[in-house]
Chains A and B, each alone.
Chain A
Amino acid sequence: MLELDTITAGYDRLRPVVREVSLTLAPGEAVGLLGPSGCGKSTLAKVAALLHRPYAGRVVIDGEPARGWRHTAPRAQRTAIGVVFQQPRMSADPRLPLRDLIAEPLRATGRRDEVPARVGELADTVGLTGELLGRRPHEVSDGQLQRACLARALVLRPRWLICDEMTAMLDASTTAALVAVVEEYRAAEGAGLLAVGHDSILLERWCDRTVHWQTPPTD
């Protein structure tokens, strides 16, 4: 289970954007979180990925409460959750060719020997061909770059996947292609998914259930 338990979070302690939100994902379940722009759903996604320290509440991953955030989170907990962000251009290190971009988590966790096989296999899955892998982010399109970012999120075989507006900048065909990759991965590995977005048609088609963001009561 991935449990978010009465989370309060934000960037200003007096005016948190997320107030006492709870959400639970079962293994293998796909949950869509729907809400308008700027409502705080991306902040909640970052809390769930242990990338943002909440003011209150706790995150429990597979029965184990999160013991830290960002670098202070144990590596095993951090890497149990794969994340894909909205803007591929901002989420890729501009200096790294796509091949290294995808391989980076393997290298960072000391699993260098798996790089050739795993990167090749994932590149095939997301539809990136040989020559494209040698290019750097500014030499490919948004769609191609987001394919690489999705491959990077899957490279460590996470048990949980968080897609924060993954397809907001993409055309219909690339959107359908990336969703198909995520679904194929989930079917193979039994991973749970939290898909955050504002497109109800997309999320209702994609996910097992959708949750509508409740505007927190202002006091």
Chain B
Amino acid sequence: MTAAVLSVRDLSVRFRMRGDRHVAAVTGASFDLAAGECLALVGESGCGKSVLASALLGLLPGNAQTAGSATVDGLELLGADERTLARSVRGRRVALVPQSPAAHLTPVRTVGAQLEETLRALTATPRRELRRAAVAAAERAAFPASHLDRYPHELSGGLAQRAATALALIGDAPLLLADEPTTGLDRDLVNRTVDELRRHTDDGATGRALLMITHDLAAAERIADRVAVMYAGRIVEIAEARTFFGEPGPLHPYARGLLAALPERDFTPIPGMPPELGDLPDGCAFAARCDRATGLCATRPDFASGLACHHPAAVPGERSAAHA
């Protein structure tokens, strides 16, 4: 087992609101991510998964407070000052593959010019070699060199996504962070986009770590090694993708419900809606919507062996034993 590239321990983020209220967007998230591994963080909109990504990039708004720790390559990200974030985190340790690549690229400059600028900022490439380095950087993301002189609006959605990925890969960051990389794309484009992300994860001697935040379970199934399910700000289950999507399936009732809601499965929604992050119950946040809930669920289940549930579909130990 290789050492973790990203190590998150008890990460919490809350927002200070008017009237001394707090909204607990992320609570007690812990996980490790190794090089060459892809972890998909799934959950419904508003469950806190984008906040977690913003925390790793130091992009939280001014009214946010953080607790716990998140290290990449041994460097603590939480509480790092703006200078550290700009100089040694963004682009160098953590690279972002954005949700809408078209909005992420500067509209008034060609893709080639943007690649060269990023190369100048992040690497020590001599000026006369910039063009060649830009071509090489484009190639890594399968962006055709013949299109380097085009402006972002002259590119198709797929090519814009590759251009943004090429930019993200320049700094050779050990951690790739993809925040909803497939929203609004059709299935073919989703498959191509995530396949390329997977390729970048496996690339090189050790590979990169890929944290993909998505609500698209099919995209997660396609490329993830492990899946983390987030509900109401907490990670409720982390499992191997193989057992999660295949047999025996997820253990947490929420994760089971999420999978069952897929049109290729039961197509039945989980009843009710998630609780407000500003007004979470003391016990299990899913109890109100759960058909397995009992009086025990009024106390919060601990997160142990990759699961936080009093009444899982199977005992976590049995599952790992079955696949040992």
Residues of A that sit less than 8 Å from B by CB:
35-38, 86, 127, 129, 140-144, 165, 168-177, 179-180, 198-202, 204-206
Q: Are A198 and B269 in contact (CB under 8 A)?
A: no
Q: Residues on B close to A: CB < 8 A?
A: 42-46, 156-157, 183-189, 215, 217, 257-259, 261-264, 267-270, 272-273
- Also in contact, A202 and B184, with CB within 8 A (given A171-B44, A174-B44, A176-B268): no
User: Are B186 and A170 touching (Cβ within 8 A)?
Assistant: no
Contact, CB under 8 Å: A179 / B45: no
Q: Which residues on A sit within 8 Å (CB–CB) of B267?
A: 176, 179, 205
Q: How far is the CA of A171 from the CA of B274 in the complex (A)?
A: 12
The 8 closest A-B pairs by CB, nearest first: A141-B46, A198-B186, A177-B269, A171-B44, A176-B269, A172-B261, A205-B263, A176-B261
B273–A176 contact, CB under 8 A? Answer: no
Are the C-beta atoms of A37 and B45 separated by less than 8 Å? no
In the complex, which residue of chain A has the Cβ closest to the Cβ of B268? A176
List chain B residues, Cβ under 8 A from A38. 156-157
Given A37-B189, A168-B183, A169-B184, CB of A144 within 8 Å of CB of B261: no
Beta-carbon contact of B273 and A172 below 8 Å:
no
Residues of B within 8 A of A169 (CB): 45, 183-184, 215
The distance in angstroms between the C-alpha atoms of A202 and B185, with both chains bound, is 14
- Knowing A176-B263, A205-B267, the reply to whether A127 touches B273 (Cβ < 8 A) is yes
**Docked CA distance A172–B44 (Å):** 8
CB distance from A43 to the nearest CB of B (A): 16
* Cβ distance A115 to chain B, nearest Cβ, rounded Å: 23
A142 x B46 contact (CB < 8 A): yes
Are A171's CB and B45's CB within 8 A? yes
Provide the bound-state CA to CA distance between A200 and B188, in Å: 11
A141→B233 CA distance, assembly (Å): 13
Shortest Cβ gap from A144 to chain B (Å): 7
- Distance of A127 Cα from B157 Cα, bound (Å): 35
CA separation between A143 and B187, bound complex, in Å?
Answer: 21
Does A173 contact B270, Cβ atoms closer than 8 Å?
yes
30 pairs of residues in contact across A and B, judged by CB atoms under 8 Å:
A35-B186, A36-B186, A36-B189, A38-B157, A86-B184, A129-B273, A143-B45, A143-B46, A144-B46, A165-B184, A169-B215, A170-B44, A170-B45, A171-B43, A171-B45, A171-B215, A171-B261, A172-B215, A172-B262, A173-B257, A175-B263, A176-B269, A177-B269, A177-B270, A180-B269, A199-B186, A199-B263, A201-B264, A202-B263, A205-B263
